[in-house]
Amino acid sequence: RSSGVSLAALSGTYNMAHPDKAVRDDGLRRLAVVIEAAAALGIPLVTLCTGSRNAADQWAYHPDNSTPAAWSDMAAEMEKALALAEDAGVDLGIEPEQANIVTSARDATRLIAEMGSKHLKIVLDPANLFEHATPHEARAIVAAAIDEAAGHIAMAHAKDRSGDGRFATAGQGIVDFPHFVSRLKAAGFDGSLVTHGLSADEAPGVAAFLRGLL
């Protein structure tokens, strides 16, 4: 309060599709504490990871991620998480990521439909919607994702990706950020745009670039 800096979200990330139920149970227990803290601090959104069957790394791909069993375990976790969030009056945000169970905006809207809760939202990071693409392909993928997720986006991320798959700071890769921001506005999005994955030295340049778009 004294700094005047608001907190747009709090991370409650854990592996919601971990193959060991005991690990998922512990993650849910920890999430309950995060949700309670978010409610007490007036933070409107708790962000989550839909997880991976990779037991060693929740951000790493596993071939079983696309199985019905993996989706079922993740969805069962999400139901429990939403019950906690609804009681606290806090929203949950899921981010489509190539190595997770929810890989696309369509997967995300499918999960929202299955859960039937207005407290489940989408965190949209354009650089996580593809791995290797041309600038034209990336632009089309991002535009389609915004169209699919429109009305459900609680937060957008400003991270970039090079054509060879490496992540980059916003404006240094192939994501068309002017197009991304304009499409978000056209879809009615007026939430927070959060950049991450950059050094302190890179921050002023990225801030100036994004400020120019907004």
Q: What is the mean pLDDT of the chain?
A: 96
Which residue is listed with tokens 């978010």?
38
Q: How many helices (H) and strands (E) does the chain have?
A: 6, 8
CATH number, domain of 21, equals: 3.20.20.150
Among residues 97, 124, 151, the one where a domain terminates is: 124
Pick from 72, 92, 124: which residue ends a domain? Answer: 124
Same domain membership, residue 182 and residue 104: no
40: domain range? 1-124
- 163, 133 in Cβ contact below 8 A? yes
- Out of 31-35, 96-100, 126-130, 163-167, pick the least confident: 163-167
Instruction: Select from 124, 150, 176 the last residue of a domain.
Output: 124
Q: Which residues pair with residue 15 across a beta bridge?
A: 49
Output 102-105 pairs: Cβ under 8 A, ≥24 positions apart: 102/50, 102/74, 103/65, 104/129, 104/145, 104/148, 105/129, 105/144, 105/145, 105/146, 105/148, 105/149
> With pLDDT > 90 as the criterion, what percentage of the chain qualifies?
94
168 in the same domain as 141:
yes
